[in-house]
């Protein structure tokens, strides 16, 4: 059983003894703290919070506690029901709400759930705001509404359609071109909300044939939900039989997008953002941002189009903050998270699907040909287990000294940029480990670099 309270919200497993997992008592407490934060920071006594949830089995239970608590705090709720993370973000803006709560544990397995907390722009709270919510929860510092001031719940199930409409209306999405390409497209949505919304989007985009795998939003995840190669054997084998031009895989809350090529091979999660950025930049030149652990291929593609690339600390809010500062036209995370400000500042797999299909249609190329034209890199991931006696900060200091002559970035752990490769060391927030990510032009070089640094640490 696990319960993790952090600046990015509350996350845990369902079931177990009080204090052990994500239970109704902690959910109510944390929701009351969030409501208090929203009321105090906005100065509003009344207002609306949007609530959406992915399809996981505990979603309804968590929803009922969250909605009841918000009403008990005197806030109205617009409940959009089963919804993706980006749909909920857009609904916050659409409802002119004070904030939003998304009930999802993202790519975690079915026994997990979590609350993702949004501000009035439909974007994640930053670290400082998350800290305030945490402190309010710890201190039980909240007042509930009197009987005449209780909030009300309203339901609104129009936001999936409005989200799809907004994607279709994007300047760089060309429905006509997609329709004329007569695409056959497969989808694996791991039996969560993507199973409804992605096929709807594909049909609205004019895809000729949609092949659905795990598209029943039952919350019974058909495989481990994180969209990484080892979990995607089913859709990969299906694609190897030549049934479709491309396959899209999303995580349970549809903010990460993985692509499978027409022959069943992985496009590579790092390359979702890189390829879509290449397309966007070819029409709207400008800057890009991703996080320090994402592929350098984005830098190469950005510079080839005359723009400037910069890396942010890991965490979506860090990426969007830097994107705003640098006026980035596109950005995101190497794990398949595409952020396209012309739509909104949040990772959005629907936007990714529509831009990718437009690029495919306009180029007339197979997915494997698109992939082959991009800069070739490989990221290796390894880790060092920590024992309580290890002083991580001292170790990272020593690494900095040793590589003082290289290009170092120290905003989030230590990243060392070499001419043809990089390595990024950071302490995990959730496990007692140091993560070591290394990238080079080939798998062998990347793994050797990671191993070398690992030995140095030891
Ligand atoms: Mg997610």
Q: What is the pLDDT of residues 354-364, one digit of tens each?
A: 999 999 999 99
19 CA → ligand 1 middle, Å: 25
Q: In which band, very low, low, confident or very high, does the pLDDT at 387 lie, cut at 50, 70 and 90?
A: confident
Q: How many helices (H) and strands (E) does the chain have?
A: 15, 20
pLDDT of residue 115: 96
455 CA → ligand 1 middle, Å: 33
Q: In which band, very low, low, confident or very high, does the pLDDT at 431 lie, cut at 50, 70 and 90?
A: confident
Residue 283 has which token pair?
Answer: 């029409």
pLDDT of residue 20: 86
Cβ burial of 120 (10 Å; 0-12, 13-18, 19+) is middle
Q: How does 9-33 read in b/e, with b if 16+ C-beta sit within 10 Å? A: bbbbbbeeeeeebbbeebbbbbbbb
| 87-120 pLDDT, tens digit each | 999 999 999 999 999 999 999 999 999 999 999 9
Q: How far apart are the C-alpha atoms of 29 and 48, rounded to whole Å?
A: 19
347 CA → ligand 1 middle, Å: 9
Listed in order, strand segments (DSSP E) in 3-130 are 3-6, 9-13, 48-53, 76-82, 99-103, 112-118
pLDDT of residue 444: 97
Q: In which band, very low, low, confident or very high, does the pLDDT at 40 lie, cut at 50, 70 and 90?
A: very high
pLDDT of residue 9: 81
**Statement: residue 7 has pLDDT above 90:** no
Q: How far apart are the C-alpha atoms of 88 and 215, rounded to whole Å?
A: 20
78 CA → ligand 1 middle, Å: 22
pLDDT of residue 138: 94
Percent of the chain residues topping a pLDDT of 70 = 100
pLDDT of residue 4: 84
Cβ burial of 448 (10 Å; 0-12, 13-18, 19+) is middle
Give φ, ψ of 416 to 5 degrees. -115, 120
CA atoms within 13 Å, Cβ hemisphere of 218: 8
Query: What is the pTM (predicted TM-score) of this model?
Result: 0.96
Instruction: Give me the DSSP letters along 158-181.
Output: -HHHHHHHHHHTSTT--HHHHHHH
Residues with CB under 5 A from ligand 1 (ion): 106, 251, 253, 255
Residues paired with 423 in a beta bridge: 416, 438
**Statement: residue 430 has pLDDT above 80:** no
**Statement: residue 373 has pLDDT above 80:** yes
Q: What is the mean pLDDT of the chain?
A: 95
pLDDT of residue 380: 94
Average pLDDT over residues 121-129: 94
**Statement: residue 440 has pLDDT above 80:** yes
pLDDT of residue 19: 82
H-run or E-run covering 281: helix 270-283
Q: How far apart are the C-alpha atoms of 341 and 412, rounded to whole Å?
A: 24
80 closest CA partner among 195, 193, 2, 186 = 193
Residues paired with 5 in a beta bridge: 10
**Statement: residue 203 has pLDDT above 90:** yes
Average pLDDT over residues 169-184: 98
Q: How far apart are the C-alpha atoms of 455 and 149, rounded to whole Å?
A: 62
Average pLDDT over residues 384-410: 88
Q: In which band, very low, low, confident or very high, does the pLDDT at 196 lie, cut at 50, 70 and 90?
A: very high
114 CA → ligand 1 middle, Å: 11
| 213-225 pLDDT, tens digit each | 999 999 999 999 9
CB 353 within 8 A of CB 194: no
The position carrying tokens 């400037």 is 308
CB 29 within 8 A of CB 19: no
Tell whether the torsion through CA atoms of 442, 445, 450 and 453 is positive or negative.
Answer: negative
**Statement: residue 386 has pLDDT above 90:** no
Cβ burial of 265 (10 Å; 0-12, 13-18, 19+) is middle
Residue 203 has which token pair?
Answer: 């049909």
Average pLDDT over residues 243-253: 98
139 CA → ligand 1 middle, Å: 30
Lowest-confidence range among 19-33, 65-79, 176-190?
19-33
Percent of the chain residues topping a pLDDT of 90 = 89
Q: In which band, very low, low, confident or very high, does the pLDDT at 422 lie, cut at 50, 70 and 90?
A: very high
Told to judge if 58 belongs to the known catalytic residues of this protein, a careful annotator would answer no
Non-local CB neighbours of 447 within 8 Å, separated by 6+ positions = 380, 382, 438
pLDDT of residue 172: 98
Torsion of CA 164, 166, 170, 175, to 10 degrees: 40
| Marked catalytic residue, from 106, 192, 290, 421 | 106
Average pLDDT over residues 283-296: 97
Q: How far apart are the C-alpha atoms of 172 and 281, rounded to whole Å?
A: 11
pLDDT of residue 458: 79
């Amino acid at each position: 059983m696990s319960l993790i309270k952090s600046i990015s919200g509350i996350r845990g497993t369902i079931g177990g003894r009080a204090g052990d997992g994500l239970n109704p008592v902690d959910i109510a407490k944390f929701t009351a703290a969030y409501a208090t934060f929203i009321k105090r920071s906005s100065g509003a006594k009344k207002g609306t919070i949007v609530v959406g949830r992915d399809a996981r089995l505990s979603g309804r239970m968590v929803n009922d506690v969250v909605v009841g608590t918000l009403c008990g705090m005197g806030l109205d709720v617009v409940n959009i029901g089963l919804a993706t993370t980006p749909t909920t973000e857009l609904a916050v803006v659409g409802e002119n709400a004070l904030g939003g709560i998304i009930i999802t544990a993202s790519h975690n397995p079915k026994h997990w759930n979590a609350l993702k907390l949004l501000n009035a722009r439909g974007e994640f709270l930053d670290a400082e705001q998350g800290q305030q919510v945490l402190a309010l929860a710890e201190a039980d510092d909240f007042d509930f509404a009197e009987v005449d001031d209780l909030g009300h719940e309203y339901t609104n199930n129009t936001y999936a359609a409005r989200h799809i409409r907004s994607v279709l209306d994007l300047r760089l999405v060309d429905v006509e071109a997609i329709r004329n390409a007569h695409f056959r497209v497969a989808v694996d949505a791991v039996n969560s909300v993507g199973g409804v919304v992605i096929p709807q989007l594909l049909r609205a985009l004019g895809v000729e044939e949609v092949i659905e795998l795990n598209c029943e939003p039952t919350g019974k995840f058909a495989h481990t939900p994180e969209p990484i190669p080892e979990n995607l054997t089913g859709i990969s084998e299906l694609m190897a039989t030549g049934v479709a031009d491309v396959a899209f895989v999303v995580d349970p809350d549809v903010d990460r997008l993985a692509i499978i090529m027409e022959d069943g091979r992985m496009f590579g999660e790092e390359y979702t953002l890189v390829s879509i950025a290449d397309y966007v930049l070819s029409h709207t030149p400008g800057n890009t941002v991703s996080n320090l652990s994402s592929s350098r291929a984005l830098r190469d593609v950005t510079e080839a189009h005359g723009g400037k690339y910069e890396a942010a600390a890991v965490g979506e809010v860090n990426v969007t903050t830097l994107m705003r500062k640098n006026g980035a036209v596109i950005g995101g995370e190497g794990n398949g998270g595409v952020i396209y400000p012309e739509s909104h500042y949040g990772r959005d797999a629907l936007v990714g699907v529509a831009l990718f299909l437009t690029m495919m249609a306009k180029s007339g190329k197979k997915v494997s040909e698109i992939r082959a034209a991009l800069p070739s890199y490989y990221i290796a991931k390894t880790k060092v287990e920590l024992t309580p006696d290890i002083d991580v900060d001292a170790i990272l200091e020593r690494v900095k000294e040793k590589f003082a002559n290289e290009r170092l970035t120290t905003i989030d752990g230590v990243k060392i940029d070499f001419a043809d490769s990089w390595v990024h060391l950071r302490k995990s927030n959730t496990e007692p480990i140091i993560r070591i990510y290394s990238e080079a032009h080939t798998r062998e070089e990347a793994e050797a670099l990671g191993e070398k640094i690992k030995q140095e640490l030891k």
